[in-house]
């Protein structure tokens, strides 16, 4: 086991056969050979080292004798548990091949029932496999559970990322979306902004000036209500996290952010997010902060003057979705305010946001548009 700031668990290997030797040291196992022909295959015995803190691998040696045409099923286990006792119990249970077969059937049944709720048929079988099985499976296992997607392999939970991931899963199991909404509420600050990403295991996360993250909570709450008709989610109360606001000139801070004692409804969490976002610049467009869904635009407006056309459209959409919700909650003052903001934003998007042929992307802190700067760089 590795001891770090993360939870300390036990990693183990086991087999239905007696393990004669093992190694966790990749250098020892590969030696002067390579992956297709490692030195470890020619050794009488492996070195029985864990390989912790080294260039790790896992290899075990077992000895099996078979008669001609004989077949034998063998279990190789690689697992993790919270304690050594639990690890031993799990190892013992699955050293029995029949238990493994039963568990494999249970797993197949679980995924079959979960993923087969919606099925799409197209002339392309490969597309059918991706849509009906693989994409949904990977979203759940890799993105939501392991938080180890293609470009997000650090095990962190992303505020916008996992909210977006669960949108398509409403057709599979709406509880994925509801759970993610409540998790996200618990990683919002009372000021309305949110942790861009965090590790649940350590309470560490990063507070930033990204301008779109917080709004994805509102977007997904609306998606949930539209799909289920269940407005009761708005009344569920969740805590905030608390921490020092970012000082002037600082775009982000990685720190420990602990649960606040303040608890408010999901509706109020959304309202705080929207109100925080109603921060407009001299063109009447929302300020981009240190990124607006495109993380690469992190220095376009981090001096607090840059504005985003994309974010303007996003806020315009969010306001349109939440005005009826405010009216339903009898929050008439806020509904009126949002209508006025939406009308003003529509005007700004169609004037300052429009170049005569296309919508612009953003205004930078120096008041040039993003496209103008790109043209200058091309000329240079």
Nearest CA to 274 out of 221, 205, 199 is that of 221
Residue 211, phi then psi, degrees to nearest 5: -95, -10
Residue ranges of alpha helices (H) inside 229-296 are 266-277
Contact residues for 126 (Cβ-Cβ < 8 A; gap 6+): none
The answer to whether the CB of 341 falls within 8 A of the CB of 319 is yes
| Separation between Cα atoms, residue 297 and residue 299, nearest integer Å | 6
As a whole number of Å, the CA-based R_g of the chain is 27
Domain borders along the chain are: 10-95, 178-379
SS3 264: strand
Q: What is the pLDDT of residue 2?
A: 47
**What CATH number was assigned to the domain covering residues 178-379?**
1.50.10.10
pLDDT tens digits for the chain (380 residues)? 444 556 678 889 999 999 999 999 999 999 999 989 999 999 999 999 988 878 889 999 999 999 999 999 999 999 999 899 999 999 999 999 999 999 999 999 999 999 998 889 999 999 999 999 999 999 999 999 988 876 667 788 999 999 999 999 999 999 999 999 999 999 999 999 999 999 988 899 999 999 999 999 999 999 999 999 999 999 999 999 999 999 999 999 999 999 999 999 999 999 999 999 999 999 999 999 999 998 889 989 899 999 999 999 999 999 999 999 999 999 999 999 999 999 999 999 999 999 999 999 999 998 888 666 555 555 44
| Separation between Cα atoms, residue 127 and residue 338, nearest integer Å | 42
The answer to whether the CB of 211 falls within 8 A of the CB of 205 is no
For 314, the token pair is 């996003």
| Separation between Cα atoms, residue 103 and residue 219, nearest integer Å | 38
């Amino acid at each position: 086991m590795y001891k770090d700031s993360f939870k300390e668990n036990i990693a183990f290997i086991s087999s239905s056969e007696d393990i004669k030797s093992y190694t966790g040291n990749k250098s020892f196992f590969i030696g002067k050979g390579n992956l297709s022909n490692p030195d470890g295959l020619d050794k009488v015995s492996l070195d029985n080292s864990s390989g912790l803190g080294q260039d790790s691998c896992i290899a075990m040696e077992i000895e099996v004798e078979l008669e001609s045409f004989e077949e034998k099923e063998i279990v190789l286990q690689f697992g993790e548990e919270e304690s050594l006792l639990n690890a031993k119990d799990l190892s013992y249970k699955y050293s029995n091949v029949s238990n493994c077969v039963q568990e494999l059937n249970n797993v197949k049944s679980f995924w079959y029932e979960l993923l087969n709720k919606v099925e799409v048929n197209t002339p392309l079988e490969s597309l059918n496999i991706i849509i009906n099985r693989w994409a949904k499976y990977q979203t759940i296992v890799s993105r939501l559970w392991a938080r180890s997607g293609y470009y997000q392999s650090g095990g962190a939970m992303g505020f916008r990322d996992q909210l977006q991931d669960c949108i398509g899963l409403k057709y599979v199991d709406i509880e994925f979306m509801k759970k993610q909404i409540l998790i996200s509420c618990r990683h919002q600050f009372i000021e309305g902004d949110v942790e861009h990403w965090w590790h649940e295991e350590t309470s560490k996360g990063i507070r930033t000036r990204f301008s779109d993250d917080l709004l994805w909570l509102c977007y997904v709450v609306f998606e949930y209500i539209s799909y289920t008709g269940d407005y009761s989610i708005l009344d569920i109360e969740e805590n905030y996290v608390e921490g020092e606001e970012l000082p002037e000139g600082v775009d982000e801070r990685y720190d420990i952010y602990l649960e606040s004692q303040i608890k408010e409804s999901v509706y109020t969490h959304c309202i705080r997010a929207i109100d925080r976002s109603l921060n407009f610049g001299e063109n009447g467009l929302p300020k981009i902060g240190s990124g607006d869904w495109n993380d690469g635009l992190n220095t376009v407006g981090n001096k607090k003057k840059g504005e985003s056309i994309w974010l303007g459209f996003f806020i315009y959409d969010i306001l349109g979705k939440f005005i009826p919700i405010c009216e339903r909650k009898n929050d008439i003052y806020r509904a009126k305010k949002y209508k006025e903001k939406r009308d003003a934003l529509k005007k700004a998007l169609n004037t300052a946001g429009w170049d005569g042929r296309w919508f612009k992307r953003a205004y930078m802190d120096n008041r040039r548009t993003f496209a103008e700067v790109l043209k200058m760089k091309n000329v240079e």
